[in-house]
């Protein structure tokens, strides 16, 4: 193969691998959630279990995967902690704006449906953080392909595996901040598709993006920490029986363990 054809083949492999990792992980998460819902009879128990699993997955993604990678990349810890704090404040303000927007729309519509359950307002925070995370994943996959084609596919498989439990958390948040499950799936899929953008740009500008990657990872981590602690965990803090509490904690730990194991692999 000529150098040009080899370069085009590598770019095609990066595009396919990042598409499979970024969007494939979202659809696999949706299939697993569907299977879980069909296997569960009690709606409230199912909702609490998925919320617990989602909170654990988001926190583990932030603290066991994104932040360690960011700190290992070399920037000053004080700078990254400042970035983390700034991200938390940014997503706090973003959620305030989202709440105001929803409240304004509600006033204009004069809705009479009082039976609708309260919704989570963390949708934009999740999508923003997910897009940043996906972009960083794309750059990492492109870097692996530039080193070795087989290593690139292994990196894409690893990204797909550790994104599945995390995307289950995203879908739970988006489903509760939207009236349509289909729109929730489309939104998370579009955020996952940013992996392809990161991969293709990373192929041409991997040296330029390497310096910014720790900050992308830290900002993504701040969004997941904020959504887990500000939106999901408060919904879990309600009086429960001892059995229900143990089940809730077990699902929370399952989310933590799943992401941690996939990150280690």
Tokens 């998460």 found at = 29
Mapping DSSP onto H, E and C, the string for the chain reads CCHHHHHHHHHHHHHHHHHHHHCHHHHHHHHHHHHHHHCCCCHHHHHHHHHHHHHHHHHHHHHHHHHHHHHHCCCCHHHHHHHHHHHHHHHHHHHHHHHHHHHHHHHHHCCCCCCCCCCCCCHHHHHHHHHHHHHHHHHHHHHHHHHCHHHHHHHHHHHHHHHHHHHHHHHHHHHHCCCCHHHHHHHHHHHHHHHHHHHHHHHHHHHHHHHHHHHHHHHHHHHHHHHHHHHHHHHHCCCCCHHHHHHHHHHHHHHHHHHHHHHHC
How far apart, in whole angstroms, are the C-alpha atoms of residue 109 and residue 131? 31
Residue count of the chain: 265
* Mean pLDDT across 229-235: 81
Average pLDDT over residues 95-109: 55
Confidence of residue 180 (pLDDT cuts 50, 70, 90): confident
How far, in Å, CA of 211 to CA of 91, rounded? 23
Tell me if 122 sits within 8 A of 231, measured CB to CB: yes
Tell me the percentage of the chain whose pLDDT exceeds 70: 80
Mean pLDDT of 10-16: 92
pLDDT tier at 149, thresholds 50, 70, 90: confident
Dihedral sign, Cα of residue 208, residue 213, residue 216, residue 219: negative
What are residue 41's phi and psi, to 5 degrees?
Answer: -90, -40
Rounded to two decimals, the pTM is 0.63
User: Which pLDDT score, from 0 to 100, does residue 117 have?
Assistant: 44
The stretch 45-73 carries a mean pLDDT of 80
Q: Predicted confidence band at 54 (pLDDT cuts at 50, 70, 90)? A: confident
What pLDDT, in 10s, does the model give residues 113-141?
444 444 455 577 778 878 887 888 888 78
Select the more confidently predicted residue: 85 or 33: 85
254 CB burial (10 A radius; 0-12, 13-18, 19+): middle
Please, are residues 247 and 50 in contact by the beta-carbon 8 Å criterion? no
Region 173-194: mean pLDDT is: 82
Binned at pLDDT 50, 70 and 90, residue 178 comes out as: low
Predicted confidence at residue 50, as pLDDT, reads 74
Residue 111 has pLDDT above 60, yes or no: no
């Amino acid at each position: 193969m000529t150098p040009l054809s080899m370069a085009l083949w590598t770019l095609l492999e990066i595009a396919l691998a990042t598409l499979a990792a970024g969007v494939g992980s979202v659809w696999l998460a949706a299939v697993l959630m569907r299977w879980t819902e069909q296997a569960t009879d009690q709606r409230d128990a199912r909702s609490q279990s998925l919320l617990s699993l989602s909170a654990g997955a988001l926190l583990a993604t932030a603290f066991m995967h994104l932040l360690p990678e960011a700190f290992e990349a070399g920037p000053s810890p004080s700078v990254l902690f400042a970035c983390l704090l700034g991200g938390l404040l940014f997503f706090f303000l973003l959620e305030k704006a989202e709440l105001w927007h929803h409240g304004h729309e509600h006033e204009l519509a004069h809705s009479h449906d009082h039976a609708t359950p309260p919704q989570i307002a963390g949708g934009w925070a999740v999508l923003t953080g997910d897009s940043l995370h996906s972009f960083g994943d794309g750059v990492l996959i492109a870097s692996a392909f530039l080193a070795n084609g087989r290593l690139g596919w292994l990196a894409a498989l690893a990204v797909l595996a550790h994104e599945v439990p995390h995307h289950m958390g995203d879908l739970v948040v988006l489903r509760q901040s939207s009236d349509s499950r289909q729109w929730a799936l489309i939104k998370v899929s579009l955020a996952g598709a940013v992996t392809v953008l990161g991969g293709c740009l990373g192929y041409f500008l991997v040296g330029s993006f390497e310096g910014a990657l720790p900050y992308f990872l830290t900002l993504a981590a701040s969004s997941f920490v904020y959504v887990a602690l500000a939106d999901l965990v408060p919904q879990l803090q309600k009086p429960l029986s001892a059995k229900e509490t143990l089940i809730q904690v077990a699902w929370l730990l399952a989310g933590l363990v799943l992401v941690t194991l996939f990150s280690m692999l």
